[in-house]
Structure 1
């Protein structure tokens, strides 16, 4: 009985390693190439900036508050400098069946987005 379990475990391990090696050889496990901008290149279109900020805000919402942010509303998108954009918005967060409004502010520049996100205080419209 123990020998059968040991043989089964070895076969399963060999199959798993073989599949992993084949996927790595085929390039299915390779990371997509990084997109980089030269230091003096202009900032991408505001649409790309806002998309990156919303994605980062949703990631921070999940990480900090354990909530999903399916709905987004932009409040403002303004250039701070030639390289940095400021995006302000609201995410509706869902957690345990409750809906909460989270305000976020994102600065997106050459170093990537940085987000400040917090729930709207109750009693504010």
Structure 2
């Protein structure tokens, strides 16, 4: 999970884990990403039930003050997650993009924000 947050941050996004980042850290552009992780699942690598494989699903919700800036954040997230992640002691596959719903406008905040949730799956082995 730390490797995913680090990759998004290195890709130029301010990231909040489990929600929006702290208000003080949101850049003046209003663009950021909120990441939501599921608990993951350990998987057997063989019939011997050695649980060294791991699968994790997560969602990157890209947020911006305009639809265009929201799409820009989604593109940055895609580019940041394109390369395989480096996790000490593990081999990780490249995160698989699973898609998500279309971009939406949130009129419950002022000024309104646009958001685009994109779901991914990551698998790794020891």
Normalized against structure 1, the TM-score is what?
0.28
Task: Name which structure has the greater RCO, CA cutoff 8 Å, separation 6+.
Answer: 2
- The higher radius of gyration belongs to 1
Structure whose residues are more often helix by fraction: 1
